[in-house]
Structure 1
Amino acid sequence: MSSAVIEANGLTKRYGAVTAVDDVSLHVASGEIYALLGLNGAGKTTTIRMLLGMVRPSAGSVAVLGGVVRPGAHAVWSRVGYLVETPAAYPELTVEENLTVAARLRGLRGRAPVDEVIDRLRLTPYARQRARTLSLGNAQRLGLAKALLHQPDLLILDEPANGLDPAGVVEIRDLLRELNQEHGVTVVLSSHILTEVARLATRVGVIDHGRLVREIAADQLAEQVQQRLVVSARDHERAGHALRAAGFDISRSEGDQLVLTDVRAISEPEAVVTALVEAGCPPYRLLVEQDDLEAFFLRVVNA
């Protein structure tokens, strides 16, 4: 039996002449944290809405937790928590009242589920505050609380860190990691922030202009960024000759800087220093730099 929690094949969504999602296939295994990464407008939200049955695909199929997503197929959703775009809430009800209503709709009894999720999402100070008065970040917390009320096996989240301050982003990251590692919850999320994705996801799918252009294990992201050794010396030309004579390749020269990208230079910068000192032109600056993850992302989508 397949361990896939989500199987999407050839998902396509057209709105007239506009193709929002173009032939996307996703296979998410149980226990993964899978992130859809893309710029705003890349097709992430439309893809997630098709996974949840909120939007009917123009072509392709989706199965979630072994059940085909189609109109009238309700049984699977008791095991799924989700948050898509702006979190919905009854504006005149308090945080606690909103969660109580959501719990009743889920068939949950007693106060325990509501109290637990309020505490988990750190909403206790706002429990009796009306939803319409919440900040964007706390409204997002309320949406996440509703998604977690029934202790789902699968969480599908669209930009879960939206509106949160840096401390809140860390809290949500830690919460999702805890749910995944300690409770076995499979998480599928979308984001446009690669650095956050790299800290949390186990696998990343890059989506651009509606197409899934690449998938990569998160632990391989570091291998994809380009590293370089930047050397600054007062006698720029003499330093270049010395490094070439020592067998180093200089990829480019900029002002008083020499840029080396070969593996030996990056892994053994002390050998570079030795070669320059012995040639009588010691460096006054030596730095190993690497692309930030956003630069990697842009290389992928522009390839």
Structure 2
Amino acid sequence: MNYIIQAKNLTKIYKGKEVVSDVNLHVKKGEIYGLLGPNGAGKTTIMRMILNLVKPTNGEILLFDQKLTPTSYELFKRIGNIIEYPIFFDKLTARENLNLHCEYIGYYDKSAIDTTLAMVQLQNFEEKQVKDFSLGMKQRLGIARAILSKPELLILDEPLNGLDPVGIKEMRSLFKILKEDYGMTILISSHNLAEIEKIADTIAIIKDGHLINEILMDDIRSENVGYIELETDDIKKSVFVIHEILKIANFKIMDTQTIRIYDSKIAEGEISKALIMNDVLVTKINKKEHSLEDYFLKIINGGGAIA
């Protein structure tokens, strides 16, 4: 397997407290890898260690199959990143900030600035001083700076912060283009689970500094089948019809009015018809799908059944 990032038994202790504990990550070349977890879970610390901004207390990191050391300067020419909130020279324009970044990293294809500003939808604001940018525009400029040199690896810490729904959709499309057309590997952390679900190939769930699970999104989708949820004013009679007449065994009573049926072989219409024929009033019935949010909450809450 061709891994771009491997973290082995990664641990970080701050002031006697273990904030990252024995974490193992495997980010494959060309994939979008979502790093998920509650606030304070250790996501940013992990990213900082990968970028050599923080030294691990224990464990090791391999980037492009090379062990990360304090002198791994050449590796970082192949990496673009945003960690927390991007900082700029406020009295300079977007173009001037990107031009300075080119000088700083020794990247001399200045025509890339025009292309990159267009990719993040800032082409009409390139001469505007950054101090007059909204939070969302600054976030777009941070992404532009991270992708300007077309790095092989992109590390993005909460890159959707400050973006409106249109901006989020545009950045989602951009990340897919960077992966598919430019071959970038993307490690991304985000609280926006619905968006990560749409773009990620693999996710890792971090809680209290521990890796809870590292799993392919395809495996999550196959594990978490949909269900039919119905609401009725007569739970006892509904259960009798479902179990004794329809011969459905895989169902769950959620509350005094709601039942979830997990038997995918039986259609909504068949269930609804049987209930009505037996004088059960069905106030609502629809098919639902488990989401990444469902899976995330199940894992974070200790692995119990999805409610």
Q: CA deviation at 1:225?
A: 4.3
- Contact residue 6 and residue 63 of structure 2 kept, 8 A: yes
CA contact (8 A) 1:37 1:193 kept: no
Q: Which amino acid aligns with 1:99?
A: L
2:305 matched to which residue of 1?
none
Tell me how far 1:78 sits from its aligned partner. 1.2
Residue 105 (structure 1) aligns with = 104
RMSD: 2.1
Give the equivalent residue in structure 2 for 1:151.
150
Identity of aligned residues (%): 32
Letter in 2 for 1:126: F
Equivalent position of 1:199 in the other structure: 198
Asked if the contact 2:158–2:189 (Cα under 8 Å) also holds between the matched residues in 1, the reply is yes
Q: Is residue 29 from structure 1 mapped to residue 28 from structure 2 by the alignment?
A: yes
Match of 2:52 in 1: 53
In the aligned structure 1, how far is the partner of 2:55 from the partner of 2:129? 34
Q: Amino acid of the residue matched to residue 252 of structure 1? A: I
Aligned residue for 1:77, secondary structure, equals: helix
The 1:280/1:155 distance shift into structure 2, 3 A limit, reads same
2:252 aligned partner, one-letter code: S
Residue pair 2:30, 2:183 contacting (<8 A) in 1 also: yes
> Distance in 1 between the 2:210 and 2:219 partners?
21
8 Å contact kept, 1:248–1:260: no
Structure 2 CA distance, aligned partners of 1:245 and 1:201?
42
Superposition map of 1:232-251 within 5 A:
232-233=231-232, 236-246=235-245, 247-249=247-249, 251=252
- The CA distance in 1 between the partners of 2:270 and 2:39, in whole Å, is 45
Pairwise mapping of residues 1-303 of structure 1 onto structure 2 (< 5 A)? 3-225=2-224, 227-233=226-232, 236-246=235-245, 247-249=247-249, 251-252=252-253, 254-255=255-256, 257-264=257-264, 267-281=266-280, 283-303=282-302
TM-score normalised by structure 2 residue count: 0.90
Aligned equivalents of 1:20, 1:10: Cα separation in 2 = 13
Q: Does the CA contact (< 8 Å) of 2:248 and 2:263 recur in 1?
A: no
Work out the CA distance in 2 between the residues paired with 1:234 and 1:70.
65
Matched residues in 2 for 1:69 and 1:235: separation? 63
- Residue identity opposite 2:9 in structure 1: G
Structure 2: how far apart are the matches of 1:301 and 1:127? 42
| TM-score using structure 1 length | 0.91
Quick one: distance in 2 between partners of 1:273 and 1:134? 54
Q: Point out the more displaced range, 44-53 or 25-34.
A: 25-34
Aligned residues: 300
Cα 1:254–1:25 change in 2 (3 A) is: closer
Unaligned runs of 5+ in 2: 303-307
Q: Which residue identity is paired with 2:191?
A: H
Structure 1 Cα separation of the partners of residues 20 and 85 of structure 2: 21
Residues 26 and 231 of structure 1, relative CA distance in 2, 3 Å threshold: closer
Q: Which whole-Å CA distance do the structure 1 matches of 2:266 and 2:41 have between them?
A: 37
C-alpha displacement of 1:253: 6.5
Supply the AA of the counterpart residue of 1:119. A
CA deviation map 1:91-122 (0-9, x unaligned)? 22111111001111222225302121112111
